[in-house]
Structure 1
């Protein structure tokens, strides 16, 4: 049974407060994702199902799994009462005031799933008895870190997307596993995968954990498992859940012979290694090194500038890119790198599951490994690691330190998503408030003292220098016309160092836990 949220009167206040804050952003800057989802509303409302994944009047074609298409269809039934013109496929870039109001409110309303999931996660954290100070309560700190997460606020409610709704399913699934309700957790994750396929990043953690900890009913004396301890009924039940959800989602399109077309939309490998600008991962460092080597080659007259590939990696275009000096990277290479990066984590929970929190740590490493080495990674995918890590951060001092580095770095890497001058004070104030709260609350929660090493603090202070240079100095400099993507490059490369470091620290933590287990 899940425990009640201690001092639960504060939870509604946190949830209502952040919902009211979101309403203030209704008329703020919005990205092309606003038009993406308006077009999907129109496609699913105005066209028969057989044409959903073929419609290409807009360049923003439907490229999410079928359950999300049905989600858009459901929203369109309400949208028609706001402005029917938004549901016409040919009305490209349509953004009437009622349309803006509806789409903004739809994100806020569907965040109720996220709010419910946060409450369930708060029921799972360990409660410190006798503490009267609300900042000393792990459940309160966790609720604030999740509900008021800076990244979700600007990505969903300024930039525009439905990540809160989707992360609600992920966190609710994690909560069910923490409560040992494995079938419910598997069902929620299967639904999530059929809403947005980016969550394939963490599918290996789910698959191995459920097979090892749910389908195998007992271990041998040496800690290994034998196939005789496999429960066929549990395995069949698990497979039935996953198969049923996928059949419900893809079945109609398979029946129409459209599965290849749907998959081609879901996995457009011709989009290139990097998305929009360089997400802060290993490929950002690889691209930067390639550019430095190319510049040196030209200066040393080892390369001809006219022969170098055009600098288009940061343009956000749907295209492939060839590196100038280093070997070019293909999708199979990124897949191999990703699998190698997560292999130790999934092998660890197979050998020694260590319960649901061991699964959660594996999930984080799978999310970060995929972010670090994946093909065409979206910068917003860093939230897939930041949000679940919040749960471990309120329970472990070491994880709290990793959380502070990853969250501060990952959140700042999202700054270029909102680049309009009017929103600069908003994003700066929101990130400052969230960062100050994170440091203060986690420090108090873990008995005072710094949670970071001096070099970690120095690195994070460097983000202030990068922010001032990119947001204030560069726009006023003559370099703005000659080198327009320099701030993006600087942001991605600097933040990549913090993300790589956090990934390595999480692995060190995992290996240390394995070492302690062997000693015992």
Structure 2
């Protein structure tokens, strides 16, 4: 079982065995509670059912316990929680009318394919059902919030999103999009802070808010996770490593000595050897700076479509420039982008790329031998399903040189995943390179995928800017026509 499996089992035991005022102080296990209070209460609720499967899993001192009944229970909780995702999909089909623009394929067929693309999403299956997390349940709440916005239920949308933030604070990534949209589309009311009062209120009364926040935002964990997420900082780390090697041999620049290598796989703060070391403040400032263009467009063009595009871009920007980003956070971009993929050819194109490279970047989560063929088969099957489905929906089946909706270079970038996969999953071990460079497969996946995730981010910005220019041009034409018609009527 994975590390996250033990993390959540420990949280079941922790919330079951200890009173509320000790939840965020308990540290007998290294897997301390570092999710917001609503998720802690979610674990507490699950623990009430865990007793009927195997009470030993609720022993707080029973570290790394994983009986068959414990595994069954925890897997069932993930499956059961994804009812929220299914309900969110039904709500979206009603509110967004996905498939209405297509005149060649019946709308119910497109909606069925859309629902399948979310329910059998490779990333969710890999991260939730094989690795072990509850992303489907959390992303389902996000989709319900978006659906409320599309139905002009702004207050309910805000409350759902506030609830989500109190379940997992990683969704702060997209909070700026909500703040701007709600400010312009609907006056934010005090009602939206009710979830925060219920969530953090007890800890404020117990004078434990600083302790809770220190668990939620552990900045000493370092710029990158043990496995580097495919973002800007992965490229930055490799560049620093390359410059350090060159510097040692050429003495062209000073190379600082460090106590721990960046490629050691340890979760802690690491200093760079040549380039300036990055701090949490620097990543925060960069993230905000690169969010500003999309937020500014949302201010100027406050529509539901622009709101959804801004959510996607805020999530991607935070993924690329944020502090200690986990590779799993790419799902916060991929899932919302799928909402546009079935009605917009351009969004479908970059959804395919982001889904493919984002999904492939999750491969290191599953590294045991028996599961490698399973993850590869699932990835190939899901990717094939997406390309075939969206190719049919948008009338582009590709050619002998290109995949559906992609150009030749984009097609080549995906084909090159085949030799990369062969090396990472087979040749690296067979050739015994793992004894010399154990971190190399993770580095190669992270660096290769980061370039194309950045490419998608840039192109999505371009699409949004182009759409704004087109709308501005249309508005200018309409205004000019109105003035011309008024002038003509006066002349007559």
Alignment of 1:69-218 (within 5 A): 69-123=40-94, 124-128=96-100, 137-215=109-187
Query: Counterpart in 1 of 2:262?
Result: 313
- How far has the Cα of 1:127 moved from its partner? 3.5
Q: Tell me, which stretches of 5 or more residues in structure 2 are unaligned?
A: 398-403, 475-492
How many Å apart are 1:129 and its aligned residue? 8.4
Shift of 1:300: 2.1
Task: Tell me the SS of whatever aligns to 2:416.
Answer: helix
1:286 aligns with 2:236: yes
Cα displacement (A) at 1:318: 3.2
Alpha-carbon distance between aligned partners in 2 of 1:357 and 1:395, rounded to the nearest angstrom = 11
Q: Which whole-Å CA distance do the structure 2 matches of 1:317 and 1:185 have between them?
A: 39
C-alpha displacement of 1:472: 1.3
1:384-399 superposed matches below 5 A: 384-399=332-347
C-alpha change, 1:142 and 1:56, in structure 2 (3 Å) is same
CA distance in 1, matches of 2:219, 2:204: 22
Alignment of 1:19-38 (within 5 A): 30-38=1-9
- Structure 1 residue runs of 4 or more that deviate by more than 4 Å after TM superposition: 128-136, 301-305
Aligned length: 467
Distance 1:477 1:196, change over 3 A: same
Q: Deviations over 1:452-488 (max 9, x none)?
A: 1111111111111211111111111131101000000
> Aligned residue for 1:269?
219
Matches within 5 A, 1:333-412: 333-353=282-302, 355-412=303-360
* Alignment partner, residue 449 of structure 2: 495
Cα 1:293–1:129 shift into 2, 3 Å? closer
Give the whole-Å Cα distance in 2 for the aligned partners of 1:331 and 1:408.
Answer: 29
Instruction: State which of 446, 453, 456 in structure 1 corresponds to 2:410.
Output: 456
Offset at residue 142 of structure 1 (A): 1.3
1 CA distance for matches of 2:101 and 2:279?
53
* 8 Å contact from structure 1 (residues 114, 167) kept in 2: yes
1:111-163 alpha-carbon deviations (Å, 9 max, x no partner): 11111112222222334489786798331221111001000001001110111
Identify unmatched segments of 5+ residues in structure 1. 1-29, 216-234
Query: Residues 474-515 of structure 1: CA distance to partner in whole angstroms, max 9, x if unpaired?
Result: 111131101000000000000001100000001001110121
Match of residue 362, structure 2, among 395, 401, 414:
414
User: For the Cα contact (< 8 Å) 2:177–2:314, is it kept in 1?
Assistant: yes
Indicate conservation of the 8 Å contact 2:222/2:323, yes or no. yes
CA-based RMSD of the aligned residues comes to: 1.7
CA offsets 1:312-341 (integer angstroms, 9 cap, x no match): 334443311000111100000000010011
Alignment partner, residue 436 of structure 1: 384
Which is worse superposed, 150-159 or 128-137?
A: 128-137
Query: What's the secondary structure of 1:370's corresponding residue?
Result: helix
Give yes or no for contact 1:345–1:365 (8 Å, CA) kept in 2. Answer: yes
TM-score (norm 2): 0.92
TM-score, reference length from structure 1? 0.87
Q: Distance in 1 between matches of 2:269 and 2:294?
A: 31
Cα distance in 1, alignment partners of residues 103 and 231 from structure 2: 40
Distance 1:112 1:92, change over 3 A: same
- Contact kept? 2:102, 2:343, Cα under 8 Å: no
| Distance in 1 between residues matched to 2:437 and 2:199, nearest whole Å | 46
Q: For 1:190-211, what per-residue CA distance to the aligned partner results, in whole angstroms no more than 9, with x for missing partners? A: 1000000000000000110011
**Alignment partner of 1:240 out of 180, 184, 191:** 191
Task: Note if contact 2:102-2:393 (Cα within 8 Å) is conserved in structure 1.
Answer: no
Query: Taking structure 1 as reference, are residues 137 and 314 closer, same or farther at Cα in structure 2, changes over 3 Å only?
Result: farther
Q: Residue 425 of structure 1 is aligned with which of 373, 376, 401?
A: 373
Contact residue 134 and residue 140 of structure 1 kept, 8 A: no
The yes-or-no answer on 1:295 pairing with 2:245 is: yes
